[in-house]
Amino acid sequence: MFENDEKTPAAPPEVLPATETPMTGRPKLKLKSTLENVKSLGNHGIPEMPGNIHYLTIIGHIEGHMVAPPQNKSTKYEHIIPQLIAVEENPKIKGLLTILNTVGGDVEAGLALAEMISSLTKPTVSIVLGGGHSIGVPLATASDYSFIVPTATMTIHPIRMNGLVIGVPQTFKYFQKMQERIIQFVTRTSKVSRETFIQLMNETDEIANDIGTILIGNEAVDIGLIDEVGGIKESMAKLQELINANNDQRVELAENPMNLQ
């Protein structure tokens, strides 16, 4: 007979999937994704990436077989390996841009990633922002072409290990072999000479944890470690140039299969 005076609580607004607007064809912002971006990234959204370039960011401490302390910002190498395989296998990806701002970390993990980047058949470009220290050096030289911004630094030093080690000559020989692996890789993937790199590695005049050398911007280019000083604009332009050259080569090989012989 009488209507219920109690107001029923309003149902929460339904978050609808993204749909395209008739005027622009762009997807509408979803409420849930917007809140997640604010929480995780500190902004309401990020620009869409072009589909033919993969952006690989290596920041903080490169975490390998041992888990880094929780207060460290780290890049886990088991997260990077599947991305590099996808870059090689995905026909839609035409190039890789590696963005580096790292203090170094696990030597074997970093060297493994560097070897994978170096062996990709797709064009690759790297850029050092902030720092490319320690094992970050071979990660910077692994690409087909490398850039460094004027204020970025790179630290070259001998192999070091924290914690307990076995105090026997075999341990020292193991360090020597691992260091030789890094020297061979860097001199193979850059223009720096072996003698210059070893000299910088064993320098004692700079305060780089007692031994080693800190290179800033142009200095890394002058010795041949990095190809060019430049930022995002230059690195993107170079990567697009390499992609175009690679596409032209593929077309030429398709038209003239005898060139394969």
- Distances from the Cα of 258 to the Cα of 13, 121, 226, 255, 261, angstroms: 64, 21, 36, 9, 6
Instruction: Compute the C-alpha angle 115/111/83, nearest 5°.
Output: 60
Other CB atoms within a 10 A radius of the CB of residue 179 amount to 16
- In the block, which residue shows the tokens 């869409």? 48
Check residue 112 and report its DSSP letter. Answer: H
User: Does the active-site annotation cover 44?
Assistant: no
User: Does the active-site annotation cover 190?
Assistant: no
Residues 139, 105: contact at Cβ < 8 Å?
Answer: no
- In the block, which residue shows the tokens 């080693």? 212
Cα separation, 170 vs 158, whole angstroms: 17
Catalytic hit among 54, 74, 126, 157: 157
- In the block, which residue shows the tokens 């850029």? 127
Residue 26 falls in which region: left (phi positive, over 0), alpha (psi -120 to 50) or beta: beta
Residues 126, 98: contact at Cβ < 8 Å?
Answer: yes
Closest by CA to 102, choosing from 146, 137, 141, is: 137
Catalytic hit among 74, 134, 146, 190: 134
Please give the positions annotated as active site: 134, 157
